[in-house]
């Protein structure tokens, strides 16, 4: 197998490591305004700085550093959009509207940066993660379907912003801080990996990055792992570990066993991510460099060993060329085992078979309270119990008449996929219990990631939840969906 390290000089990052290892400039751009200077109140015995005059953000550029109050941040060009997240365990937080300043505008404000640099975003507790030039300027993030969590096949225009408002209100200082990161798009059509959405942000700094890189992990699961995911996991508040060598150099990274645990079975992060039983049964772990040099460990030696580290920086800097991007280090290694330029970690386990989500239990047409039929590969006869055996989603959407509220249901597109829509189909005819029929273009449904067959407070009564579609498509007491 030919092994190689893919260097992405300005490219998009790939799928973030789930064990964290765990947006379209949105609308209203305004012309840049000069940042007002904070003024001091006359010195009196009772005067005190107002909250608006207290600096909330430090921006460190290549040649200067600026401190901004919240009012000064708000005076910069505005970007708005919708953002949500997919956590390292796969949990979806649906998109909501955010307002703030695009990171690319903040970079220009401090003097700009080129393709070799990024923006390091730092939180009050010291957590940090770096956004590349490509992410700032081109929105190169992986986006997922908010309904299913699947990676979107068609790209969505994304913008990283430093947000100060959510859903029309200032951020909750306890939950989010005064400022936080959000990856926004113009519509409610995407979520991104949660590690990008840093909370309690108080500092931005231009940082030299060098080349982007990817580490390939192969075991029972296989996944490419980007720089940002490993840096996120390597934060002190997460799984970061350090080791100081005999030259007083501090190496920082993530224990090897955590990489192994993310691909040794189907549990990638939550619970016992590292499978002790499999390790006790025995397998080998190969750490492979870009030139093919390989260091092999048995599972017993790797098992929960924090003294074998995959390091990504030394003395607070990226690794030098002879080790870049990753090097094995630690007190439990000999010098010849400290391989550099790591490109792949291979765990000697058989790949897990692909599994499909089980279909709901089949019913007879007489027992069904909902039918999906017409130009499909198989008609579906369902009731509420069968529908609830599928993945139930909760979204917050704007009802045409009743305003924003939460809705529970199953993805309308998931139902159509289960039935198997035939080529050439163009329209859905939705029939209500009173015989009323609603007609919806199939193309509108297919692009609506939040469209649901919604549950109601009455058993076996269903409704269509159709965000951003006309009010007549929000059918009530739905009993039949026919594809034509």
308-348: pLDDT as tens digits: 999 998 888 888 888 989 999 999 999 999 999 999 999 99
Nearest partner of 356 among 391, 382, 310, judged by Cα: 391
Locate CATH 3.90.420.10 in the chain.
11-35+53-208, 213-347, 370-483
**pLDDT surpassing 50 at residue 36:** no
By percentage, how much of the chain surpasses pLDDT 90? Answer: 52
Residue 294, strand partner residues:
288
**Banded model confidence at residue 10, pLDDT cuts 50, 70, 90:** very low
Q: Is 26 helix (H, G, I), strand (E, B) or coil?
A: coil
The DSSP 8-state label assigned to residue 46 in this structure reads S
Residues 6+ apart with CB under 8 A from 409: 392, 393, 452, 453, 454, 455, 462, 465
pLDDT range class, residue 131, cuts 50, 70, 90: confident
Residues 151 and 358: their CA atoms lie apart, in Å, by 20
Q: Which residue has the tokens 């430090």?
A: 58
**Mean pLDDT, to the nearest integer, of 197-201?**
93
DSSP-derived letter for residue 195 is G
Phi, psi of 412 (to 5 degrees): -65, -35
233 phi, psi to nearest 5 deg: -65, -30
Domain 11-35+53-208 has CATH 3.40.250.10: no
Please state, rounded to an integer, the average pLDDT across all residues of the chain: 84
Lowest pLDDT segment from 215-219, 240-244, 361-365, 443-447: 361-365
Q: Is the pLDDT of residue 456 over 90?
A: yes
Supply the Cα-derived Rg of the chain in whole angstroms.
26
> How many Å separate Cα 200 from the centre of its chain?
18
Does pLDDT of 357 surpass 90? no
Identify which of 101, 36, 41, 99 has the alpha carbon closest to the alpha carbon of residue 66: 36
pLDDT, residue 41, reads: 38
The CA distance from 456 to 13, in Å, is: 41
Check whether 80 has a pLDDT greater than 90.
Answer: yes
- 35 neighbors 43 (Cβ within 8 angstroms): no
Instruction: Find how far residue 448's CA is from the centre of its chain.
Output: 20
Q: What are phi and psi of 194, to 5 degrees?
A: -65, -25
Query: Does residue 23 have a pLDDT over 50?
Result: no
Question: Are the C-beta atoms of residues 359 and 381 closer than 8 Å to each other?
Answer: no
Q: What is the DSSP string of 390-455?
A: S--EEEEEEETTTEEEEEEEEEHHHHHHHH-BPTT--EEEEEETTS-EEEEEHHHHHT-TT-EEEE
Neighbours of 298 (CB within 10 A): 13
118 in Cβ contact with 138 (< 8 Å): no
CATH 3.90.420.10, applies to 213-347: yes
- For 134, phi then psi, to 5°, come to -65, -40
- Could you tell me the pLDDT band of residue 282, with boundaries at 50, 70 and 90? very high
- Helices of type H across 204-329: 227-233, 256-261, 276-281, 299-302
Mean pLDDT value of segment 390-415: 89
Question: Span 370-483: which CATH code?
Answer: 3.90.420.10
Query: In the structure, what pLDDT confidence band is assigned to residue 409 with cuts at 50, 70 and 90?
Result: very high
Across the range 191-202, mean pLDDT stands at: 91
Six token digits for residue 349: 């386990």
Residue 365: the pLDDT is 82
Please name the residues in contact with 385: beta carbons below 8 A apart, sequence gap of 6 or more. 361
pTM: 0.48
Convert the pLDDT of each residue in 249-281 to its tens digit.
999 999 999 999 989 987 765 556 789 999 999
What's residue 22's pLDDT?
Answer: 38
Q: Are 331 and 243 in contact (CB under 8 A)?
A: yes
């Amino acid at each position: 197998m030919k092994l190689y390290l893919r260097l992405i000089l300005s490219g998009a990052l790939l799928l973030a490591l789930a064990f964290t290892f765990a947006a379209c400039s949105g609308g209203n751009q305004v012309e840049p305004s000069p940042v007002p200077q904070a003024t001091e109140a006359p010195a009196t015995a009772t005067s005190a700085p107002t909250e608006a005059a207290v600096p909330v953000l430090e921006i460190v550029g290549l040649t200067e550093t600026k401190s901004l109050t919240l009012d000064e941040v708000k005076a910069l060009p505005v970007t708005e959009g919708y953002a949500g997240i997919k956590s390292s365990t796969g949990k979806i937080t649906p998109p909501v509207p955010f307002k703030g300043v695009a990171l690319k505008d903040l970079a220009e404000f401090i003097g700009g940066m080129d393709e070799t640099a990024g923006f390091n975003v730092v939180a009050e507790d010291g957590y940090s993660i770096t956004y590349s030039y490509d992410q700032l300027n081109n929105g190169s993030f992986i986006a997922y379907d908010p309904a299913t969590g699947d990676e979107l096949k068609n790209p969505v225009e994304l913008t990283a912003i430093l947000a100060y408002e959510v859903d029309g209100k200032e951020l909750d200082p306890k939950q989010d801080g005064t400022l936080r990161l959000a990856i926004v798009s113009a519509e409610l059509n995407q979520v991104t990996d949660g590690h990008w959405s840093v909370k309690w942000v108080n500092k931005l700094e231009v940082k030299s990055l060098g080349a982007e890189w990817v580490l390939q992990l192969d075991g029972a699961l296989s996944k490419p792992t980007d720089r940002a995911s490993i840096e996120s996991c390597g934060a002190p508040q997460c799984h970061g570990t350090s080791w100081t060598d005999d030259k007083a150099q501090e190496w920082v990274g993530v224990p090897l066993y955590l990489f192994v645990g993310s691909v040794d079975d189907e549990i990638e992060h939550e619970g016992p991510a590292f499978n002790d039983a499999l390790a006790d049964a025995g397998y080998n772990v190969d750490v492979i460099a870009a030139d093919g040099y390989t260091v092999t460990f048995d599972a017993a030696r790797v098992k929960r060993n924090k003294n074998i580290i995959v390091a990504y920086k030394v003395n607070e800097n990226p690794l030098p060329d002879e080790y870049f991007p990753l090097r094995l280090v630690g007190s439990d290694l000999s010098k010849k085992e400290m391989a550099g330029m790591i490109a792949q970690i291979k765990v000697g386990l058989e790949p897990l078979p692909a599994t499909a989500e089980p279909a709901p239990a089949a019913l007879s047409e007489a027992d069904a309270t909902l039918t999906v039929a017409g130009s499909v590969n198989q008609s579906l006869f369902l009731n509420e119990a069968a529908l609830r055996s599928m993945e139930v989603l909760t979204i917050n959407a704007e009802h045409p008449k009743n305003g924003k509220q939460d809705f529970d249901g199953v993805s309308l597109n998931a139902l159509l996929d289960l039935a198997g829509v035939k080529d050439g189909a163009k329209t859905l005819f939705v029939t209500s219990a009173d015989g009323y029929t609603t007609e919806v273009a199939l193309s509108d449904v297919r692009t609506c990631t939040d469209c649901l067959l919604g549950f109601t407070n009455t058993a076996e009564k269903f409704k269509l939840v159709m965000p951003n579609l006309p009010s007549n498509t929000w059918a009530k007491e739905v009993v039949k969906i026919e594809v034509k």
